Chains A and B, each alone.
Chain A
């Protein structure tokens, strides 16, 4: 027996219930659509656990939730939100409105105030009035409706780029004109792809694949989505809001 143990202080052990699984998510709202995106790499430290672990989930025909942070918590949280939405459907025979989902997520997160889900949430979709909306949350439920938001490992890389390109920060409109409050869908998709290729280039935890969910308001045509390769529809009805997913490869190094 080592005598060192006798002089050393009390031995302490600790279990850390959290880990950080990298990746980045992003959502942008348009006038009558919303784009919610995330990369598909899941890592722990320098290890890549998988190159395809979705972080973006369809909740209803008009709501998409992106979760980022501790993947186990994220998956569990999405499962619980989906369960609550199903109960709502059974009770009310309709899908929960987006703003109500946002408030639900707040309550669910705050309910775990002292053992939080270690997850940053971004909820995107279509509001009752047909407008595109993005809600962003912190791990304990503080939330806000915004036009665009990035979260996760590359938040610091992507958010200032979005400030510049979506909010036109530090830019001056040409005399007699003003900047649009919302951008058209093709431009938004281009910006999302640029954001993720940029983040992939400079952040080791971002890459492998990109999933972009597009939610279109009720009655909106598919303009802006025509000619997009690999476009897949996920909606259950064709007369309500419609959801599509676009998948792209990202660099794998």
Chain B
């Protein structure tokens, strides 16, 4: 069995109108055996950037620590928060550093970046396990339920969703996607990032 499917789990991010959303399921398994149902795969990077990782759970934790360190160093040196695009490239280069012995994770990023006029524009990106970036205008997915998430998201997503509508869209996509995947599920967590706050909600899901 593939290393990428050893622990199970899925992540998704979507663009809205002046906001972005990112979420993951909560299952941690050892192949078919569920070990924990509180394993979040999305982490805050700055006030306006969140990073989700699906794949091998040990690498999810290791890279969370690694990115926290690298973002802190960036913040100290630059004396400002990192912007989503710079962070996406930080993720990419961190993964490519291990090109021939990779970390087995697929990252998904969501954030807001500030334009010169002071507006906040949505930004999402995903990458493969060696850091090949994919900037999407609509949504990105990763994990064992990625195919299902693509299918549902393609049907539900529409442009310019307001934060609450975006929350509903990403929640329905994630829940219905993971319900058709044996390795993902057991509840979910969603973060909707808006210019002035982050709305975080934990969702109940099917327990099978």
Q: Please give the residue numbers on chain A whose beta carbons come within 8 Å of chain B beta carbons, in ascending order.
A: 154, 156-161, 163-165, 169-171, 194-195, 197-199, 201-202
With both beta carbons as reference points, the residue of chain B lying nearest to A163 in the complex is identified as B176
Q: Are B172 and A164 in contact (CB under 8 A)?
A: yes
Known A-B contacts A170-B172, A170-B175; A160 and B148 likewise in contact (beta carbons under 8 Å): yes
Do A156 and B154 contact each other (CB < 8 Å), given the known contacts A170-B172, A171-B172?
no
CA distance A215 to B156 in the complex (A): 27
B147, B154, B179: the one within 8 Å of A201 (CB): B154
Enumerate chain B residues within 8 angstroms of A202, measured Cβ to Cβ.
150-151, 154
Q: How far is the CA of A171 from the CA of B203 in the complex (A)?
A: 12
Set B148, B150, B154, B176: member contacting A169, Cβ < 8 A: B176
B101 at the A interface (CB under 8 A): no
Pairwise interchain contact A157-B151, C-beta atoms closer than 8 A: yes
- Contact yes or no, A157 B172, CB < 8 A: no
Question: Once the chains are docked, how many angstroms separate the CA of A199 from the CA of B205?
Answer: 25
Task: With A156-B148, A157-B148 as known contacts, state yes or no: A170 contacts B154, CB within 8 Å.
Answer: no
Task: Determine which residue in A159, A161, A163, A164 has the highest number of CB atoms from chain B within 10 A of its CB, and name it.
Answer: A161
Q: Can you list 14 A-B contacts with CB-CB less than 8 angstroms, sorted by A residue number?
A: A156-B151, A157-B152, A158-B151, A159-B148, A160-B151, A160-B152, A160-B180, A161-B151, A161-B156, A163-B179, A164-B152, A170-B171, A170-B205, A195-B155
Question: Which of B155, B175, B205 counts the most chain A CB atoms within 10 A?
Answer: B155
Q: What is the CB-to-nearest-CB distance from B9 to chain A, in angstroms, rounded to a whole number?
A: 17
A48 to B147, CA, bound (A): 22
CA distance A163 to B156 in the complex (A): 13
Determine the residue in chain B with the shortest Cβ distance to A191. Answer: B155
Say whether chain A's binding surface is mostly helix, strand, loop, or mixed.
helix
Interchain CB contact (< 8 A) of A194 among B147, B155, B177: B155
Q: Mark B150-165, 1 if CB is under 8 A from A, else 0.
A: 1110111000000000
User: Roughly how many angstroms separate A202 CA and B176 CA in the complex, as a whole number?
Assistant: 17
Near A by CB (< 8 A), chain B positions 148-203 give 148, 150-152, 154-156, 171-172, 175-177, 179-180
Beyond the given pairs A157-B147, A157-B150, A202-B151, 15 more chain A to chain B contacts, judged by CB atoms under 8 angstroms and listed by A's residue number, are A156-B148, A157-B152, A160-B148, A160-B179, A161-B156, A163-B176, A164-B176, A165-B155, A169-B176, A170-B171, A171-B172, A197-B154, A198-B151, A199-B151, A199-B154
Please give the distance in Å from A184's CB to the nearest CB on chain B: 19
Q: Decide if the interface of chain B is mainly helix, strand, loop or mixed.
A: helix
6 A-B pairs closest in CB distance = A157-B151, A198-B154, A164-B176, A170-B175, A161-B155, A160-B180
Considering only CB atoms, which chain B residue lies closest to A154 in the complex? Answer: B151
CA distance in complex: A198, B139 (Å):
13
B156, B172, B180: the one contacting A159 at CB < 8 Å is B180
Return B188 CB to nearest CB of chain A, in Å.
10
Known: A194-B155, A195-B155, A198-B155. A161 touches B150 (CB 8 A): no
A56 to chain B, nearest CB (A): 20
For the complex, what is the distance from the CA of A154 to the CA of B148, rounded to whole Å? Answer: 9
Within 8 Å CB of A164, what residues of B?
A: 152, 156, 172, 176
Q: What residue of chain B has the Cβ atom nearest to residue A201's Cβ?
A: B154
In whole Å, how far is B191's beta carbon from the nearest beta carbon of chain A?
A: 19
Chain A: CB-nearest residue to B150: A202
A157–B151 CA distance with the chains assembled, in angstroms: 4
- Note all chain B residues with C-beta closer than 8 A to A165: 155
B133-147: CB near A (< 8 Å → 1, else 0) gives: 000000000000001
Whether A157 pairs with B176 at a CB distance below 8 angstroms is no
Interface pair B154/A160, CB less than 8 Å apart: no
A161 to B175, CA, bound (A): 11
Q: Measured between alpha carbons, how far is A169 from B176 in the docked complex, in Å? A: 7
Residue of B nearest to A150 (CB): B151
Q: B78 CB to closest chain A CB, in angstroms?
A: 38
Contact B176 A156 (CB under 8 A): no
On chain B, the residues within 8 Å of A158 by CB distance are 151
Complex Cα gap A154–B156 (Å): 16
A225 to chain B, nearest CB (A): 23
Residues of chain A with a CB closer than 8 A to B154's CB: 157, 161, 197-199, 201-202
Closest chain-A Cβ to B141's Cβ sits at a distance in Å of: 10
CA distance A116 to B150 in the complex (A): 31
